[in-house]
Chains A and B, each alone.
Chain A
Amino acid sequence: MATETSKAVTSKTMALAKAINESLRRALETDPKVLVMGEDVGKLGGVFRVTDGLQKDFGESRVIDTPLAESGIVGTAIGLALRGYRPVVEIQFDGFVFPAYDQIVTQLAKMHARSLGKVKLPVVIRIPYGGGIGAVEHHSESPEALFAHVAGLKIVSPSNSSDAYWMMQQAIQSDDPVIFFEPKRRYWDKGEVNTEAIPGPLHKAQVVREGTDLTLVAYGPMVKTCLEVADAAAEEGRNLEVLDLRSVSPLDFDAIQTSVEKTRRLVVVHEAPVFFGSGAEIAARITERCYYHLEAPVLRVGGYHAPYPPARLEEEYLPGLDRVLDAVDRALAY
């Protein structure tokens, strides 16, 4: 996040989940139209405690425990938005979003265009996503590309506490529907949050490590992995640049292009399956934009074209340090 202002006294260290909690609290405080809704978001505070304490302080009318019906949650959030509210809905886990897929794709994404701009749908859909927590089936998926393919939606994913805080503020202020993918395995990672900083634009990527030899592009949970890769590569004398996309739709191709024109090599990393994943789109567009700069084909590291495996196998399925380093080596070998 662009926190170029000097560290103010308002800067606090907090876990990523807590940063979202604080951001929701701030939104509920400052805008009476903001609502939080979802399964178990009330007394329990959500299964990850992201909404902890909010119902106690803002009441059941604004922090709403819903029936266990995802289409119903998103469908009624649409109706509330039509009435002038700004609902922030929680889908409990990535793999549970599909009952709501129709409402999201068919209605939420299209109503603004259908109404020729007369109707706005400021709905945020929070989805804890990705693997690495040893969960059962349907609790570790990364479905962002399934949503990025749909015009009318905006897709973002923070990688750290500061972005989690500020990107949530911006998502709630957006007049477009935003799907907010939360890297659940990073929920407990701590980071600095300056609650008085002036955030940069929501959909701009951020260079989180400067380098000259190769660009690693990631978002959400894989940013940390890529930073670790860059550290490991540095020990071997390789100077990698790491770009945190932060937004999957729109996608900041200008930032990738700028980086690739410098480093001439690109590896894209995400947990989602490689096939038809966001890396494919990045590879195609960067090949077109940077054809004469590239020294190697754009390589991708991600999940396999197989259902997300049982937890004991997920470390093999997920891109880890070694798999990303392997791709880096292959790109540098050209």
Chain B
Amino acid sequence: MTVESTAARKPRRSAGTKKSPSTEPELVQLLTPEGKRVKNAAYDKYVAGITPDELRGLYRDMVLTRRFDAEATSLQRQGELGLWASLLGQEAAQIGSGRATREDDYVFPTYREHGVAWCRGVPPENLLGMFRGVNNGGWDPNSNNFQLYTIVIGSQTLHATGYAMGITKDGADSAVIAYFGDGASSQGDVAESFTFSAVYNAPVVFFCQNNQWAISEPTEKQTRVPLYQRAQGFGFPGVRVDGNDVLACLAVTKWALERARAGEGPTLVEAFTYRMGAHTTSDDPTRYRGDEERQAWEAKDPILRLRRYLEASNHADEGFFAELEAESEALGRRVREAVRAMPDPDHFAIFEHAYADGHALVDEERAQFAAYQASFADGEGA
């Protein structure tokens, strides 16, 4: 359901807008957990033309992203990565929103947007350099309009807003999407980005994946109101979408991006989802949450529900699923081999890129470091 600003268009409530029994407010849903397509007068049009091929594509994206994610978790367990932040359970939110973006749009991710990176065409193995500790960001942001992962939570929402302000100044019709989570919603930078984007009417979509947990803290520790309602106070619309429904995420994000392109300013999308795994491989969720909750969310699995829909509507056959299984395993292998082959960086990488135009002290310290290193070589030679 949406919250309306005075200036904004508002999709009307419809049959597909589900009222949850508990404290959960209404959310936009197009596919039920059972894989049943439900109508939604406001958002159906954003996925009306979707072809079976595209539906299979969304399914493939989610399966491959999950496979990549599982491989990365394994690589951490094997000691190949220092840390991994799993996206397990959030595939629909990321693939749905990621596939809604246009090539010229720009994405500002957190450190968990592996599915969005996949949609943007960032080679998945490139995401792993920072988790292996060979770099702090292993891709060129401008190659895929996908910024580097931002570890300090919420900071990137301001960068996204500034970038969007630049789009307006350029007279372009691109849009920006900024990812953040329920934990980051408490950060001042997120509030400031809402203020700036509203005041300057910046073409930015704030995509909050509310995965219910900020490490050990539940959403109740962050907010007294549903997060999407925060937008109202800043003067732009907010909508809560079923974050485990890839079609709904695709539709709602397309709507929000179109608003941005049309000069209607920012939108807050709250994708209501669940972090099925630990915060990172260093975390132990058994210390703070019960398994019943996880099991309840497992029944809403994003991949399973699209599979049910594809099967029920005869959009995919056994051959498709078998082929995808093989492709998944190949991807896992490729990622595994790529990570194991990643060399440690050259020692002098410490000094490289500290500055764009150079810095006398960095030059001096690099020379001292080189002399120190060379002193061992002399010793060996003696």
Measured CB to CB, the closest approach of chain A to B72, in angstroms, equals: 20
| Size bracket, chain A contacts | 35 or more
A80 within 8 A of B: yes
- Please judge, given known A-B contacts A76-B165, A203-B360, whether A113 and B158 are in contact too, CB under 8 Å: no
B359 pairs with A111, CB closer than 8 A: no
In the complex, per-residue mask of B104-143: 1 if CB is within 8 Å of any chain A CB, else 0: 0000000000000000000000000000000111101110
Q: Chain B contact residues: over half helix, strand or loop, or mixed? A: helix
Residues of B within 8 A of A79 (CB): 158-166
Measured CB to CB, the closest approach of chain A to B35, in angstroms, equals: 40
A154 pairs with B359, CB closer than 8 A: yes
Which B-chain residue is minimally distant from A151 (CB atoms)? B354
Number of interface residues of B (CB under 8 A): 42
A82 pairs with B162, CB closer than 8 A: yes
9 A-B interface contacts by CB (under 8 A): A69-B195, A72-B196, A78-B162, A83-B167, A112-B354, A113-B353, A115-B148, A119-B148, A249-B359
- Please judge, given known A-B contacts A67-B192, A249-B361, whether A106 and B152 are in contact too, CB under 8 Å: yes
In the complex, per-residue mask of A66-82: 1 if CB is within 8 Å of any chain B CB, else 0: 11010110111111111
- Please judge, given known A-B contacts A75-B158, A75-B159, whether A80 and B165 are in contact too, CB under 8 Å: yes
Measured CB to CB, the closest approach of chain A to B366, in angstroms, equals: 12
Residues of A within 8 A of B141 (CB): 82, 115, 118-119
A83 pairs with B192, CB closer than 8 A: no
B148 pairs with A78, CB closer than 8 A: no
Measured CB to CB, the closest approach of chain B to A287, in angstroms, equals: 16
Pick the contact of A115: B140, B155, B165, B195 (CB < 8 A). Answer: B140
Binding site for B on A (CB under 8 A): 61, 66-67, 69, 71-72, 74-85, 99, 102-103, 106-107, 110-121, 151-152, 154, 174-176, 203, 249-253
A69 pairs with B136, CB closer than 8 A: no
Residues of A within 8 A of B138 (CB): 116
A107 to B136 CA separation, bound complex (whole angstroms)? 12
- Contacting A at CB under 8 A, from B81-108, are none
A118 pairs with B140, CB closer than 8 A: yes
A112 pairs with B356, CB closer than 8 A: yes
Residues of A within 8 A of B193 (CB): 72, 75-76
Residues of B within 8 A of A81 (CB): 162
A152 pairs with B355, CB closer than 8 A: yes
Most buried by B among A83, A154, A252: A83
- Contacting A at CB under 8 A, from B346-380, are 352-357, 359-362
